[in-house]
Amino acid sequence: MITDGSVKQESEQGTHLSQLASVGQIAAGIAHEVKNPLTAVKGFLQLLEQDGRREYIQIAQSELDNALATLNNLLQVSKPDLENEDFQTIYLAVEIESILNLFQDKLYNIRLHTEFFHTNIPISGRKNQFKKAFFNLIKNAIESMVGIGTLTISHELVGNEVIVKIKDTGVGISADKIQLLGTPFFTTKEQGTGMGLTQVFSVVYQHGGNITVDSKENQGTMFTIKIPMMQQVKQKGVKTLNLHYKEKLSMKHFFFENRQAFEERLLHEAINVKDKIEEIHKIGNINLLSNAHKLVLFVLEERGHELISFAKQEGIAWAKYSLTLAFKLEWIQAIRRTVWDFLYNYDLLSKTEADRLAFYSLEKQINENIDQFLTYFFISYSNYKDELLATHQKMVDDLSVPIIPINREICILPLIGPIDSLRLAIIQDKVFSEIENHHIQSLIIDLSGITPMKHDATVQFIKLIEGISMMGCKTFLTGLRAEIVKNLISIDAGFKPMAKFKGTLEQALNDVINDTERKR
């Protein structure tokens, strides 16, 4: 703790007391403080030698006690670890309050003014060391005011630091003395030990903090202490946030009250979604942030029906605009984490300190609700996608089996491209149902655009012709190329009577039309 010793001069806000005083100054201090009692002891021992008086022994003993006390004092502040105190989560405002109670009698003539903000922000520290430090600072402040004045103490979070200011309207410190603050044994008081500030500085540095002083003679002094807020909280998964809380605020209103902070926290959690918010809004007119508030409201108030219909609606919207599912998942997970951070802070601020049972029930309720949202979201998303897929499929199927009506009884089916058994199954379904529904009498199948069929496809094609015939519809086959004919007869020429064969589509059309007119 005691380093090279240069005490930094004026920084922009007061004198920066970043170092303890130099080893030389400390040594001088110790020498002075220990030399005095030892000199006295020596003198009294000489006197004792001369006339053996009892009171000299007592004086010598008490001077030796003084010397020992001085050394102890010094040891305590330079090696505070000797006290073996563990670091723990502490709230500085709480410690200050408890110390102020000790000064009640002294504060009789002194006006006390406290400005405490962000009192729920913890730091990690040695509790008793801080108590002692605040005791020393407040004691100095009160002593400087000689019984009358105003003591102002403030506590707030700025950035990642908890800042405590202790301000008095006392005698102040002259510029030349300011540099000596924190030096062991530096005191201007008759009964002073000069160890108070040394302890204060030591504690501040032990906790990675910093201390500055502003002082004007005959006006007053202000010590500013900055201690980094506790970071470990984050690793545990919950985060202490800087949120507003009023007495008896309900959980729901706590969320309303801190709407802005909720959004900020949520965006911080959902790193990948953050940049997509606008895009998603543009594509699907989906306002992720206001939807997040809605979800939280439904979850907290257990409005199950609304939650479900909201999830379904979101699922459809997400599917409709083909938004990336990963974003939705990340978003909901971020909402879940943010909700838990908020509940943790609500618990801290409202001091309800939910018991285990209450906590687990709440946990169950909230997680179940969010899970339910996700379930319904995904079901509705995939239903919508399935339906979309089915309609697309039907469109593709229709396109691949283009049955073109010439009139109410005659239709043409021009087949193009490769025909395999899968496609034939679709063709068969479509053809049979069209014949049945529209009472088609003659179907002209034009094969001029197909590639040669494989064996199993040819077998199935023959079955198709047989089926058409069984349904009382006449088949005209046109555009048969040599390759296809070879395939057909190699399997079974028996189907031949079931169809009529024409060279071209035009011939077939003429024939069919003449045929039907003749019948009338």
Binding site for Mg ion (CB under 5 A): 140, 196
The option from Mg ion, ligand ADP, none interacting with 193 (CB < 5 to 8 A, set by class) reads ligand ADP
The option from Mg ion, ligand ADP, none interacting with 194 (CB < 5 to 8 A, set by class) reads ligand ADP
Return the number of the residue (119 or 179) whose C-beta is nearest ligand ADP. Answer: 179
* Closest-approach residue to ligand ADP (CB): 196
Return the number of the residue (53 or 189) whose C-beta is nearest ligand ADP. Answer: 189
The option from Mg ion, ligand ADP, none interacting with 507 (CB < 5 to 8 A, set by class) reads none
Burial pattern 379-392, b for ≥16 Cβ within 10 A else e, equals ebbeebbeeeeeee
The option from Mg ion, ligand ADP, none interacting with 170 (CB < 5 to 8 A, set by class) reads ligand ADP
The option from Mg ion, ligand ADP, none interacting with 270 (CB < 5 to 8 A, set by class) reads none
In whole angstroms, the minimum distance from the beta carbon of 157 to ligand ADP comes to 24
Instruction: Name the residues that contact ligand ADP, by CB under 6 A.
Output: 136, 140-141, 144, 168, 170-173, 181, 186-189, 192-198, 221
Return the number of the residue (214 or 341) whose C-beta is nearest ligand ADP. Answer: 214
Return the number of the residue (182 or 479) whose C-beta is nearest ligand ADP. Answer: 182
In whole angstroms, the minimum distance from the beta carbon of 123 to ligand ADP comes to 23
Return the number of the residue (170 or 209) whose C-beta is nearest ligand ADP. Answer: 170
Question: What is the per-residue DSSP string for 140-169?
Answer: HHHHHTTT-EEEEEEEEEETTEEEEEEEE-
The Cα 78–Cα 194 span in angstroms is 14
CA distances, 239 to each of 235, 265, 337, 340, 372 (Å): 8, 10, 10, 9, 25
Return the number of the residue (173 or 307) whose C-beta is nearest ligand ADP. Answer: 173
As a residue count, the chain comes to 520
In whole angstroms, the minimum distance from the beta carbon of 218 to ligand ADP comes to 10
Question: What is the per-residue DSSP string for 290-329?
Answer: HHHHHHHHHHHTT-HHHHHHHHHHHHHHHHHTT--HHHHH
In whole angstroms, the minimum distance from the beta carbon of 94 to ligand ADP comes to 23
Return the number of the residue (183 or 258) whose C-beta is nearest ligand ADP. Answer: 183
The option from ligand ADP, Mg ion, none interacting with 189 (CB < 5 to 8 A, set by class) reads ligand ADP
In whole angstroms, the minimum distance from the beta carbon of 163 to Mg ion comes to 22
Q: Among positive and negative, which fits the CA dihedral 95, 99, 104, 107?
A: negative
The option from Mg ion, ligand ADP, none interacting with 188 (CB < 5 to 8 A, set by class) reads ligand ADP
266-123-169 Cα angle (round to 5): 115
CA distances, 472 to each of 71, 226, 431, 435, 441 (Å): 119, 96, 13, 9, 7
Maximal C-alpha separation, the chain = 162
CA-nearest of 141, 168, 157 to 227 is 157
